Amino acid sequence: MADADFDVLILGAGSGGYACALRAAQLGLKVGLVEKGNLGGTCLHVGCIPTKALLHAAEVADSARESEQFGVNATFEGIDMAGVNSYKDGVVSRLFKGLTGLIKGRGITVIEGEGRLTGPKQVTVGDTAYTGAHVVLASGSYSKSLPGLDVDGERVITSEHALRLESVPKSVIVLGGGVIGCEFASVWKSFGAEVTIIEALPRLVAVEDEASSKALERAFRKRKINFKVGTRFHSVKSTNDSVAVTVEGANGEQSVIEADLLLVAVGRGPSTAGLGYEEQGIAMERGFVLADERCRTNVEGVYAVGDIVPGLQLAHRGFQQGIFVAEEIAGLAPQPIDEAGIPRVTYSHPEIASVGLDEAKATEKYGTDGIESITYDLGGNGKSQILKTSGFVKLIRQKDGPVIGVHLVGDRVGELIGEAQLIYNWEGHAEDVAPLIHAHPTQNEALGEAHLALAGKALHAHS
Ligand code: FAD
**Is 12 a pocket residue for ligand 1 (Cβ < 6 Å)?**
yes
Q: Tell whether pTM > 0.85.
A: yes
Query: Is the pLDDT reported for residue 1 higher than 50?
Result: no
CA nearest ligand 1 atom 41, residue? 314
Residue 463, pLDDT score: 47
Mean of pLDDT over the chain:
96
Would you give the DSSP letter of residue 349?
S
Query: pLDDT for 145-170, tens place per residue?
Result: 999 899 999 999 999 999 999 999 99
Catalytic residue numbers read 440
CA nearest ligand 1 atom 9, residue? 41
* Best CA proximity match to 327, nearest among 27, 30, 32, 31: 27
To the nearest whole percent, how much of the chain has pLDDT over 90? 97
Query: What is the pLDDT averaged over residues 249-266?
Result: 96
Which class for 333: exposed (0-12), middle (13-18), buried (19 or more C-beta within 10 A)? exposed
Q: What's the 316 CA to ligand 1 centre distance in angstroms?
A: 11
**Is 307 a pocket residue for ligand 1 (Cβ < 6 Å)?**
yes
Q: What's the 217 CA to ligand 1 centre distance in angstroms?
A: 28
R_g of the chain computed on alpha carbons: 23
**Is 313 a pocket residue for ligand 1 (Cβ < 6 Å)?**
yes
**Is 306 a pocket residue for ligand 1 (Cβ < 6 Å)?**
yes
Probe target for ligand 1 pocket from 43, 130, 303, with the most ligand atoms within 8 Å of CB: 43
Task: Please report the domains of the chain, with CATH numbers, ordered by start residue.
Answer: 6-143+269-339 (3.50.50.60), 156-266 (3.50.50.60), 350-454 (3.30.390.30)
**Is 351 a pocket residue for ligand 1 (Cβ < 6 Å)?**
no
Residue 458, pLDDT score: 80
Query: pLDDT for 225-248, tens place per residue?
Result: 999 999 999 999 998 899 999 999
Q: What's the 236 CA to ligand 1 centre distance in angstroms?
A: 28
CB neighbour burial string for 39-50, b if at least 16 within 10 angstroms, e if fewer: bbbbbbbbbbbb
To the nearest whole percent, how much of the chain has pLDDT over 70? 99
Rounded to whole angstroms, the Cα distance separating 228 from 20 reads: 41
Probe target for ligand 1 pocket from 10, 11, 15, with the most ligand atoms within 8 Å of CB: 15
SS3 343: coil
**Is 16 a pocket residue for ligand 1 (Cβ < 6 Å)?**
yes
**Is 342 a pocket residue for ligand 1 (Cβ < 6 Å)?**
no
Q: What's the 68 CA to ligand 1 centre distance in angstroms?
A: 40
**Is 47 a pocket residue for ligand 1 (Cβ < 6 Å)?**
yes
* Best CA proximity match to 173, nearest among 54, 265, 80: 265
- Binned at pLDDT 50, 70 and 90, residue 71 comes out as very high
Q: What's the 382 CA to ligand 1 centre distance in angstroms?
A: 38
Query: pLDDT for 27-49, tens place per residue?
Result: 999 999 999 999 999 999 999 99
How many Cβ atoms are within 10 Å of 224's Cβ, its own excluded? 9
- Binned at pLDDT 50, 70 and 90, residue 4 comes out as very high
- Binned at pLDDT 50, 70 and 90, residue 65 comes out as very high
Q: What's the 41 CA to ligand 1 centre distance in angstroms?
A: 5
